[in-house]
Chains A and B, each alone.
Chain A
Amino acid sequence: MMIFRLAFQSLMNRWVTACLTVLAIALSVMLLLGVEKVRTGARQSFADTISGTDLIVGARSGSLNLLLYSVFRIGNATNNVTWKSYQDIAKMPEVKWIVPISLGDSHHGFRVLGTNGDYFTHYKFRRGQSMTFAAGGPFTDLFDAVIGSDVADALGYKVGDKIIVAHGVGSISFIEHQDKPFRVSGILAKTGTPIDRTVHVSLEAIEAIHIDWQSGAPVPGESISADAVRKMDLTPHAITAAMVGLDSKLATFKVQRRINDYAEEPLSAIMPGVALQELWGLIGTAETALSVVSAMVVATALLGMVTMILTTLNERRREMAILRSVGATPTTVLGLLAAEGGLLTLAGVITGTVGLYVGLYLARPYIDHTYGLSLAIDPPRADEWLKLGLIVAAGFVAGLLPAIRAYRLSLADGMMVRV
């Protein structure tokens, strides 16, 4: 107890350097815990990209590929699903709802997704949250479009603006559906999912803009005007994928098996949650790298502390000689220095942890709004407590380094003061 009081008073005597050291340790602890929070938040946000959907159905392919193009709008479908297959699946008794997805066009690099009005009610993200409209509403006309918040921000669109959809998915497209412009009917609120970067139109509109096309190019001399197309049968021939909701989750495997075994066309049905886990396993290596870097920062801060204590050691030889003269053993001097390292680290860990939670509390709304990343403010988990404990222990051990040097000096100097 007395050793701690002396160590504390001695530290207060050098409060500027002590504060800087504590600050360095605090920042490193904030980084370590912060990375952990962001990691958990990112993993959760990733898993929250799609929820409430039991199966995603597409042409036969790997589950990751299907997930990537249907949910993340990355890459392309290998093949389409015929409208008949879609209807067959919709008729299955276990199927509660089914939402078609049609991809292949784009607008200034943002994917255009053809679907129907059910999409806005059935697509859920972040533990069952539904999409909401920041402005306008769903499609009412054939050539209406609902855009995600990133699209609106990036291109500066308001409800009522006209947009032209380009054929193909590149950001620069040479062929545009100029004859059939769309009107922005609604802008979705930020979700933090790929929906933000998507232009939604109706399935019939996708059919309509391609009705006078053949083999991916407009047929010369056969263009059909936007008004004429309204009178035609716009039932799609094929879609890219479909999202399926079931009455009971218990039926998932049964329905999945039945779709995979569908005789008339090779189809794949995947469970989005399982595929997301698989995908995270692939990209999750980056999070390990982050953890390693933050652990190194903690080590650097502790090294800084050791340097600080070592540099003050020479000017403190007198202090140690005084203590020796009043009966302190070299072991007491050793304990004093080790206690100093421990105290500094403890103060740093406490400051850092408190700082992180304050920072988290302040920055959370901004991060959620800007990056769609929801960071949880929950008490440190067991493994985080363990990490914090390990840092304090490491501080004591690191403090031993200068302490051993002080012990040696103290043995050599005795109580004779050398300056």
Chain B
Amino acid sequence: MSDIIVSSRDTRIEGESPLDAVSFSNVRYSWPGPSPFSLTIKKFTLGSGEKLLLVGPSGSGKSTFLSLLAGIVAPTQGRIDVLGTEMAKLSGSGRDRFRVDHFGIIFQMFNLLPYASLIDNVLLPLRFSRTRRANAERDGSLDAVARGLLAALGLDETVIATVKAANLSVGQQQRVAAARALIGAPPILVADEPTSALDRNTEEAFLKLLFAQSEKAGTSVIMVSHDEGLAPHFDRVVRLQDIAVSSRGAKQ
């Protein structure tokens, strides 16, 4: 396989750039155990303010890629830099702090603590990140900021007043999750198939509102999906199989 970055609208010059939000070089990660798995990524970059779609079939190592990106796991070899910081140099709890300061994360589904209110769910990262808390407080009271974000993402006042997150529809839950990922303006938004549970129309609306907010804050976006149909919404599309080599050992 090749290590060429494939993109739909590739206007960027290859090579190191100080503006890169994320860069992987010669990263290798192997998962030990009864079913060994390894993923090798020669080169990957995410530009500052860029919206990137990472496409790959299931089992191609998307989850492992995101774990490496967010510093959940450390690479066996190679180097990952996020916003000029080498992730391997951080301690375990240092990576946890770094993650909440710099990443907003949206999962495929079930993003919310079902027992907490919408506002509490949105404010959750601010309880762990002083930087993002300070960012959010610049725009007003935390409650007002959370409400503003939820409203901007298309949730009306009656929905916001919902006592428990568990009572929302999936589409509404994903919007709350987006608000949580965006609050306090983290530089990078990571989304793991956030629209896979939504229908086409809802998906379209969701992405539009999400990007409107991320562009306003200058956030870099990396979204993982198996659906290449989303490509028109993004600056660049990367197929995982083009940048990464994965191997799966036989079960012993």
| Inter-chain contact A326/B111, CB cutoff 8 Å | no
B26 within 8 A of A: no
B235 within 8 A of A: no
Partner of A327, one of B100, B115, B116: B100
| Inter-chain contact B128/A416, CB cutoff 8 Å | no
- Chain B residues within an 8 Å CB radius of A314: none
| Inter-chain contact B125/A327, CB cutoff 8 Å | yes
| Inter-chain contact B96/A417, CB cutoff 8 Å | no
Complexed CA–CA distance, A12 and B113 (Å): 12
A404 within 8 A of B: no
| Inter-chain contact B180/A417, CB cutoff 8 Å | no
Complexed CA–CA distance, A12 and B117 (Å): 13
| Inter-chain contact B110/A318, CB cutoff 8 Å | yes
Q: Quick one: closest A residue to B106, CB to CB?
A: A325
Partner of B100, one of A6, A326, A416: A326
How many chain A residues sit at the interface, stated as a range, is 20 to 34
| Inter-chain contact B113/A327, CB cutoff 8 Å | no
| Inter-chain contact A417/B73, CB cutoff 8 Å | no
Complexed CA–CA distance, A10 and B121 (Å): 13
Partner of A414, one of B72, B93, B110, B116: B72
Q: Quick one: closest B residue to A325, CB to CB?
A: B105
| Inter-chain contact B93/A331, CB cutoff 8 Å | yes
Interface code B112-140, partner A: CB below 8 Å = 1, 0 otherwise?
A: 11111000000011011100000000000
| Inter-chain contact A414/B97, CB cutoff 8 Å | no
Partner of B107, one of A323, A325, A329, A330: A325
A328 within 8 A of B: yes
A9 within 8 A of B: yes
Complexed CA–CA distance, A326 and B102 (Å): 10
How many chain B residues sit at the interface, stated as a range, is 20 to 34
Partner of B110, one of A9, A324, A417: A417
**Interface members, chain A 324-355 (any B CB < 8 Å):** 324-332
Partner of A9, one of B67, B116, B128: B116
Complexed CA–CA distance, A325 and B66 (Å): 12
- Chain A residues within an 8 Å CB radius of B114: 13
Partner of A416, one of B67, B110, B111, B127: B67
B142 within 8 A of A: no
Interface code A1-44, partner B: CB below 8 Å = 1, 0 otherwise?
A: 01000100110110000000000000000000000000000000
Distance (whole angstroms) from the CB of A19 to the closest CB of chain B = 15
- Chain B residues within an 8 Å CB radius of A329: 92-93, 96-97
- Chain B residues within an 8 Å CB radius of A321: 107
B70 within 8 A of A: yes
Partner of A322, one of B93, B111, B127, B129: B111
| Inter-chain contact A328/B96, CB cutoff 8 Å | yes
B99 within 8 A of A: yes
Distance (whole angstroms) from the CB of B118 to the closest CB of chain A = 13
| Inter-chain contact A326/B116, CB cutoff 8 Å | no
Distance (whole angstroms) from the CB of B192 to the closest CB of chain A = 8
B63 within 8 A of A: yes
| Inter-chain contact B105/A415, CB cutoff 8 Å | yes
| Inter-chain contact B67/A414, CB cutoff 8 Å | yes
Partner of A10, one of B100, B115, B124: B115
- Chain A residues within an 8 Å CB radius of B96: 324, 327-330
A319 within 8 A of B: yes
Interface code A399-415, partner B: CB below 8 Å = 1, 0 otherwise?
A: 00000000000000011
Task: Supply 22 A–B pairs (Cβ within 8 Å), ascending by A.
Answer: A2-B127, A6-B113, A6-B116, A322-B124, A323-B113, A324-B72, A324-B96, A325-B70, A326-B124, A326-B127, A326-B128, A327-B97, A327-B100, A327-B125, A329-B92, A329-B97, A330-B92, A332-B128, A414-B67, A415-B105, A416-B72, A417-B108
B residues in contact (CB < 8 Å) with A: 63, 66-67, 70, 72-73, 92-93, 96-97, 99-101, 105, 107-108, 110-116, 124-125, 127-129, 180
Given A322-B107, A327-B125, 7 more pairs with CB closer than 8 A: A322-B112, A323-B113, A326-B105, A327-B99, A327-B129, A329-B96, A332-B128
